[in-house]
Structure 1
C-alpha cells in the first residue's frame, strides 16, 4: 500500500526475506484454492499465520483497483485476469506475513500517532501543502477501504517497512547475501495443475433456497459490513477568543443577573383527586373524601382511587397525574400544600385543599 503513496527503496538487499514459509495448497494451486465457496478457508499458512480465501480475494481486488487507477483506460485486459491477480495477491500476502512476523520477532511496533503523522505528511493527500480530507477519502474509497481498515493497512505497511529500511540502510552487502538473493529469485518449479471453469460448474450445480439460507446462517459474519458514518465538524475553542474580546464590569453584571433570572425554579411532580362541588353540597363532597381516605388506609392505590373518584377528566385515567408544577405557578393554597409535603407523601383527605375556579 505504501508503494502507492511513496516510492520505496528497490535495493537488492531490501528484497531479502528472512523466515521459514510454509504454504499449504489445497489440490492444484491457487486456481483451485479460490474456487471454493468457503470464504474462511485457509489457502496458505506462513509461520503459523493463516491466509484465508477472503483475504486473498480482497487483496486481488485491491490490486485490480490500483492498476486501473494508475493505468486508466490504457491497461491491457490480460493484466486484470483473476488468475494473474490472485497469484500476485497470494505472493504479496505471503511476503507480508513473513515480514510482519519478522517485525514482531524484532520487537517493532507502530502507534496510531505514527500512522496519523504519516498520513498527514503524505503528499498524495495534500492540497497546497495541507492535508486534504476529500483527497484522502476519495483515494481510500477507490480501493474499497473504510477509513479504519485503511489505517490498519497503513499501520501494517509501516511496520513491515521498518526492517526493510534497516537492511536498506546498511553500508555494505556481503557477497554471500547477493548470491542468496540471486538464487532465491532464480528458482524455478515444475508443477501440474487443473483449471476449473466457474461458469461450467454453475450450470451443472443446483442449489435450493434452503441450502442458500443454511449457508447464509452459517456465514453471517462474512456478509456484515461495519457501520460507517460521514462526519463534518468545526472545532471552536473559547481560548482562541480570550484576547479578542473586551468585557466591561457592567456587561458582566448584566449577564450574571440574566443568568440568575433564567434559572429554573423548584418543581414538584404531583397527582391529585379532584372533587367537584358545583353539583354537590360541601357535606356530600366531604363524605366522598372520607370514602377516598378509608380506601387509601385499606391499601387501595392512589391511581385506582383517582380513576374511581376524581372529577378531573384530564387526569383521572392517568393516576391523577398533573406532571411537574413550578413553585408559585398555581393557586397559593395548593402551592403551599404541595411544596410542604415530603416525597411520596399523600395528603390526608380529612384536610382537603379548597380551590375556587372562576
Structure 2
C-alpha cells in the first residue's frame, strides 16, 4: 500500500501536527499490538493474555488501562486502590475480547483490502494539510508512533476487521414496531406516590417487654429462637479482630527486585522513625502511599481474618495493643502495621443467647403490632380525606416513634412494574395496587416491609397515550435498537470467550491495598 500512497507525496510537512500524534488510533489500537511474547522484568511474562495461542501484548493492556483511568478520572471518579484493580480487570477483559472479535472475523473470512486501507488513510485528517493528503506527513507520523507504515497499516487492518465484525453482528438485531411500542409503554406507564413508612427498629425502642414476658416467650418459641441463632452465626461466634493503622509503600506488579528492595528500605526507614518515638499517624501521613488511609494517619479500621489480605491480617492479629509490626509484604507492597485495639474472639452458646434473642423477637413482634395499628389508623384518616402530608408533616408538629421522625415522603415517578420501588422497596402487592389506581386514590391496605409497614396514596398516575408513541416512533426504535445491539454484543462476546482458550497474566492486575475499613 505504501507505493499507492507515495504518489500523493509532496510539499513541506507541517510539523505542528506532531503535537497530537494520531491519538484516535492509539485509542483503538497501540503500537504494542506488534510486540512479541517473552519474559519480562522480574520474571513476569511480557504478555497480558494468550487468546487461542495468540499473544496479547502487555503494552496493549497498559494503554487500555491508562485510557480507562483517564476516562473515569475526568468524571471525578476514584482511580486508586480497589478502583485501580477493577479498572485493570476491565482493561484486560477489553483487550482479550478485542482479540476474540478479530479472530472470529478472520475465521469467517472477512477481509480488508489494500484499497480499503488506502482509502481509509487518505481521509484521515491527521494526515492532511489544507484538506489534502500528504504522504510525507503520513510517513513521518506513523514511523514515530508505530516504527513503520507497515506496522501502522497492519494495526489499521485489524481495527477495520474489528469494526466490520461488530457491524455485521449489529445487522442481525431487528426491532419490530410491536417491540418498540411495548418498550415505550413500559416507560410511559408511571406512578408517583406519597407514602409513610412506620419504622420497625425505632418502634422496638418504645416497647419494653418484662423479664416474665421474655421468659414466657422463650418457652413458647424455642424453635424460632433456635432458627434465629443458626441464621446469625457472625453475631454469636465472633472472630478475633483488631483496629489498626498502616503505612504502605507500594510495589508495582512484576516490579524488579531492585524496586522491591527500595520499597522495603523506605518502610524500614519509617519503622525506625516510629521506634525512635515519632507518632505513627504523623509518619503515615508523610510516608504512606495508600490514598484511602494516608490522610487519616494510616487509620484502617477493624481487621479480621476473612476480610483482608492473608499476610496483612495475620500480622495485624498477632499484635498486642500498641505494638508495631515488622515490615509485611503483600501483593500491594510493603506495610508497617500498628495495633490500636484488640477485640478477642467471643462465642456465645445458644443457651446463653436464648434470653437475648427472645427479648429481641418479642420486642419486634410487639413493635410490628403497634405500628400496624398506627398505620391502619392513618390509612383510615386518609380515606376520610386527611392527607398524609398533613398527618405526618416534615416540620411543625412532627410525629415521632421511638425518637425517629415519621414523615410523608414522595416517591417517583417510577414504572409500577419495577422490581423495587424507590423509597419503598420490593413490595409486589403495593406495586400492583398502584398500577390499578388513579391519581389521588388511597391504596387499599397496610403493606408490610422488612423496615416496617407502609401506607400510600397515588399522587400522580400517568398512563400511556398511544398517539404520543407515533410522534416518537423513529427515535424510540433507534434507542431500543442500540440497547439490543449492546445486549447482543455482550451475549456474543460471552459465548466467544466460553469457547476460547484464554490464559490471563493476572500478575499484571495488582491488588487493592489491604488497608480498607472492615
Structure with the bigger RCO (C-alpha within 8 Å, sep 6+) is 2
Give the greater-gyration-radius structure (CA). Answer: 1
- Give the TM-score band, short-chain normalised: 0.3 to 0.5
* Structure richer in strand, relative to its length: 2
Question: TM-score scaled to structure 2, two decimals?
Answer: 0.24
Question: TM-score scaled to structure 1, two decimals?
Answer: 0.32
